[in-house]
Amino acid sequence: MNIGIDIVDIDRMEKALAKRPALKGRLFADAEREYCDSMSSPGQHYAVRFAAKEAVIKALGHHFSWKDVEVVRSDRGEPRALLHNDARIMLAGRRLKLSLSHSGNYAVAAVLLEDSEDE
């Protein structure tokens, strides 16, 4: 079992995206950008998704393309991490659980990575 956690300053994320708009395309999948941009406070949603990507990287112990981790919502609205390409290969045989939160100026994500024998 592995864990990963990350915290992101929402103002810092907003400033970075305003200064370098191309970052959205480099860091986030189309569906993530569409979701975040549809919200009344897109910066907090981008920040928590970036924190989730970092938390997944920490739990897996390997860095890969930012778009290889995509944060989506289940039918019930729960956050889920869809892994693609190298990240999906690294996940093989394991389950990943994701929790997101934002409050004030901070966004945080926690990941629990369970090995198949942890069941």
What is the average per-residue pLDDT within 31-47?
Answer: 96
Distance of CA 4 to the CA centre of its chain: 11
pLDDT of residue 115: 85
What average pLDDT does the structure give for the chain? 94
pLDDT of residue 13: 97
Q: Which residue has the higher pLDDT, 99 or 117?
A: 99
Residue 31 pLDDT more than 60? yes
pLDDT of residue 117: 66
* pTM attached to this predicted model: 0.93
Residue 16 pLDDT more than 80? yes
Tell me which H or E stretch contains 76: none
Tokens 């112990």 identify what position? 61
- Other CB atoms within 10 Å distance of the CB of residue 30: 10
Q: Is residue 70 a contact partner of residue 82, using CB atoms and an 8 Å limit? A: yes
Residue 119 pLDDT more than 80? no
Which long-range contacts link 94-97 to residues 24+ away (Cβ below 8 Å)? Answer: 96/56, 96/59
Q: Tokens for 103, please give them.
A: 């409050």
The pLDDT tens digits for 40-56 are 999 999 999 999 999 99
Instruction: Report the CATH architecture of 2-118.
Output: Alpha-Beta Complex (3.90)
pLDDT of residue 63: 87
